[in-house]
Amino acid sequence: MPTYQAPLRDFQFILDEMLNIYEQQHLEGFEQVDADLVDAIFQGMADFATKIMLPLNSSGDAQGCKIEDGQVTTPQGFQQAYKQFVEDGWATLTCDPEYGGQGLPEVVGTFVTEIQAATNMAFAMYPGLTHGAYSAIHAHGSAKLKRKYLPKLVSGEWTGTMNLTESHAGTDLALLRTKAEPCGEDVFAISGEKIFISSGDHDLAENIIHLVLARLPGAPSGVKGISLFAVPKFWVNEDGSLGENTGVQASALEHKMGIHGNSTCVMVFDGAKGELVGEAHQGLRAMFTMMNQARLGVGMQGLAQSDISYQNALAYAQDRLQGRALSGVQQPKLVADPILVHGDVRRMLLAQKSFNEGARALVGQQALWIDQAERHQDKALRQQASLLAALFTPVVKGFITDQGFKACVDAQQVFGGHGYVHEWGMEQFVRDARIAMIYEGTNGVQALDLVGRKIMGDQGAALMTWAEQAKQFIEESRTEPQMEKYSQTLIKNLGDLEKATQYLAKHAPSKPDVLGSASMAYMQLLGITSLTLMWARMAKLALRALASQTQEHDFYQSKLKTADFYMSYWAIQTRGLVVQIESSAEQICEYDAALF
């Protein structure tokens, strides 16, 4: 059975030492945030997650959800755990105090969700989707809708879902067919079938609020004719009491590779009663405004699964005795050396560790940008943060879930044959982590969003803004000779990024398809380069701490050595990615479809 230690010290390092969040008093909502409060929240979540959520991860996977007469039941223990989750107020953290939330910033909330997604990703998706529905109604709903739905979504007494996909319309929402017909004052009858609906139906809450994309009569075709509706499972009367089922039902559970504890449903809307959220035909735009946050959440799943995989692989490598070190016996009293002595085991573990800690720093930075974009008093800084958050949204989602999955596969590999059987839990991490590369926009879609909208769409303005920050960091580090090597690596990475960007700028006008064929390598390039900056920043902090204090020597020494490993293993990969783009992107577009 896997174990888990929430990386609380790393959270402190990122929030306090790297991002200085307790000095961001100019951010609305940060006033009452202090280190004691935040540490207590993390500790509380860590306790809850390791005691309640983690033990249900494997059993939830084995049992899965069941459906009978359109009513879904979750695995044993989920009901009780969810009840406790709600009672302890875990659903409310980052929500608006006006509706019962605690108003905490995203940068705190994001690490709370890391703990949840690490210990039980399938379970964490119930509050996760609820938060998405909360955000949609909060951002776009009328005052009436907000009063009706938000308090119970904030508390977690009701849960939420996002109903976008139809069997013929996944990535391409322009094709969706679900209809909405007016059927009374501000009420619409929704008809259609949606697939892959996470937390679609279950037995955890007394009501479920489905956010549904559908077309109004006479709506323009394509994405400009899509509206967003709130369709509750049970109608909510004026007095707050629950009425009848509105006409929505789960018709089946999807049979999935993983996340078995989450009830992924086929949902049938049979003239189901719902209300419009926001303006007619503006549904897709409404969904898009929540995308940064939702994709951050999925990127976090990739990191979370990678981290719990790493923790268990490391423990196994320290414990499992097989063979001897090539350099000679390390543990003569034991029948064999622990497999941590073997070079390829170390390589896999260091690749995971350096990726995880770098990605965690990037995720923290991204969450802070999202907070700043919403809450910063300075409009110019707000706009800049918004630009950077938009730029890094596909990187956080696509790059982190891709590499996070690979890390889970490597961690499984450390276990040898034991990694392939359920008992040790490692193969579940691989199966669960796999979905994060697919949902909330496949990683191919992320890569295309990056090169298309985020890079070419603004002629590289956002990228230049970010690169300027990196260059400023290099400039500020000149006085510290030990920083020279990190700065040099960062300069090389930025140079490679520039080359790749120039390649796109040069070829895209005449051959737009090049953008697609270069997109994945480009996303990796920006991902690796951004982690190089994160590691350079962390190395700088570690160097200072090691020079000025004697406490926690191992923590800072580990940071410094892991930064060095990152530079020598990950950062060197940018050159190859540029070469790949330059040598293969055109060929990929031009390959004759008949010759596949």
Residues 337-396 that bind a copy of itself (CB under 8 A): 340-350, 353
Q: Are 392 and 530 in contact (CB under 8 A)?
A: yes
Can you tell me the distance from the alpha carbon of 490 to that of 476, in angstroms, rounded to the nearest whole number? Answer: 13
Contacting residue, 106, 201, 275, 427, with a copy of itself by CB under 8 A: 427
Distance of CA 283 to the CA centre of its chain: 23
Residue 162's Cα: distance from chain center in Å?
A: 16
Q: Residue 219 carries which DSSP code?
A: P
Burial 422-446 (b: 16+ CB within 10 A, else e): eebbbbbbbbbbbbbbbbbbbbbbb
274 vs 404 by CB, closer to a copy of itself: 404
CA–CA gap between residue 436 and residue 426 (Å, rounded):
17
Q: How far is the CB of 489 from a copy of itself (least distance, A)?
A: 10
Q: Which helix (H) or strand (E) holds 71?
A: strand 71-73
Choosing from 321, 329, 461, 547, the residue that interacts with a copy of itself (CB under 8 A) is: 321
From the list 21-29, 240-248, 429-437, 465-473, the region that binds a copy of itself by CB under 8 A is 429-437
Residues 225-254 that bind a copy of itself (CB under 8 A): 254
Closest CA to 207 of 252, 155, 172, 259: 155
Candidate list 76, 289, 459, 557; residue touching a copy of itself; CB under 8 A: 557
Instruction: Specify the stretch interacting with a copy of itself by CB under 8 A; choose among 97-105, 114-122, 209-217, 582-590.
Output: 582-590
**Strand (E) or helix (H) holding 193:** strand 188-197
Residue 528 tokens, joined: 């690796």
Looking at 79-87, 292-300, 386-394, 444-452, which segment touches a copy of itself (CB under 8 A)? 444-452
Q: Are 33 and 142 in contact (CB under 8 A)?
A: no
| Active site annotation includes 475 | no
Rule CB under 8 A: is residue 172 a binding residue for a copy of itself?
yes
423 binds a copy of itself (CB under 8 A): yes
Interface with a copy of itself (CB under 8 A), residue from 171, 289, 472, 549 = 171
Q: Which is nearer to a copy of itself, 275 or 307 (CB)?
A: 307
- Is residue 322 within the footprint of a copy of itself (CB under 8 A)? yes
Strands 158-163, 207-214: pairing is parallel
CB of 590 to a copy of itself, least distance (A): 9
- H or E segment at 409? helix 400-414
- With H, G, I as helix, E, B as strand and everything else as coil, classify residue 231: strand
- Rule CB under 8 A: say whether 592 interacts with a copy of itself: yes
**Residue 305: which of 445, 198, 441, 412 has the closest Cα?**
412
Q: Smallest gap, in angstroms, from Cβ of residue 568 to a copy of itself?
A: 4
38-57 residues near a copy of itself, rule: CB under 8 A? none
Closest CA to 480 of 543, 559, 534: 543
> In the complex, what is the shortest distance from the CB of residue 342 to a copy of itself, in angstroms, rounded to a whole number?
5
Q: How far is CA 260 from CA 60, 158, 265, 404, 428, in A?
A: 7, 21, 11, 19, 10
Backbone angles phi, psi at 384, to 5 degrees: -65, -45
Residue 418 Cα distances to 305, 320, 344, angstroms = 18, 11, 17
**Separation between Cα atoms, residue 429 and residue 300, nearest integer Å:** 14
Binding-site member from 149, 196, 235, 269 for a copy of itself (CB under 8 A): 196
Residue 234 or 420: which CB sits closer to a copy of itself? 420
Q: Closest distance between a copy of itself and the C-beta of residue 398, in Å?
A: 10
> How far is Cα of residue 407 from the mean position of the Cα atoms in its chain?
15
> Which span sits near a copy of itself by CB under 8 A: 139-147, 231-239, 255-263, 461-469?
255-263
What letter represents residue 122's amino acid?
A
Is 409 near a copy of itself (CB under 8 A)?
yes
452 binds a copy of itself (CB under 8 A): yes
Q: Residues 298-317 vs a copy of itself: string with x where CB under 8 A?
A: ----------------x---
**Residue numbers 107-166 binding a copy of itself by CB under 8 A:** 165
Distance CA 284, CA 176 (A): 11
* Shortest CB 39 distance to a copy of itself, Å: 24
- One residue of 54, 286, 407, 430 binding a copy of itself per CB under 8 A: 430
Please give the full DSSP string across 539-573, using - where no structure is assigned: HHHHHHHHHH--TTHHHHHHHHHHHHHHHHHTGGG
Listed ranges 69-77, 80-88, 124-132, 434-442: which one lies at the site for a copy of itself (CB under 8 A)? 434-442
* Closer residue to a copy of itself (CB): 143 or 326: 326
Q: Which is nearer to a copy of itself, 28 or 254 (CB)?
A: 254
In the complex, what is the shortest distance from the CB of residue 430 to a copy of itself, in angstroms, rounded to a whole number? 7
Beta-carbon contacts of 320 under 8 Å, excluding residues fewer than 6 positions away, are 338, 339
DSSP 109: H
Question: In the complex, what is the shortest distance from the CB of residue 170 to a copy of itself, in angstroms, rounded to a whole number?
Answer: 5
Q: Of the listed 374, 440, 480, 586, which one is catalytic?
A: 440
Name the residue nearer to a copy of itself (CB basis): 244 or 554. 554
Cβ closest to a copy of itself, residue 359 vs residue 370 = 359
Site residues for a copy of itself, 473-512, by CB under 8 A, read 511-512
Is residue 326 within the footprint of a copy of itself (CB under 8 A)? yes
SS3 at position 339: helix
Contacts of a copy of itself in 59-118 (CB under 8 A) = none
Q: Applying CB under 8 A, what is the total number of residues that bind a copy of itself?
A: 101
* Smaller CB separation from a copy of itself, 125 or 388: 125
Query: Closest separation between CB of residue 62 and a copy of itself, Å?
Result: 9
Nearer residue to a copy of itself within complex by CB, 145 or 212 = 212
Among 189, 208, 435, 474, binds a copy of itself (CB under 8 A): 435
Give the residue from 538, 369, 536 showing the smallest Cα distance to 466: 369
SS3 assignment, position 189: strand
List the catalytic residues.
440
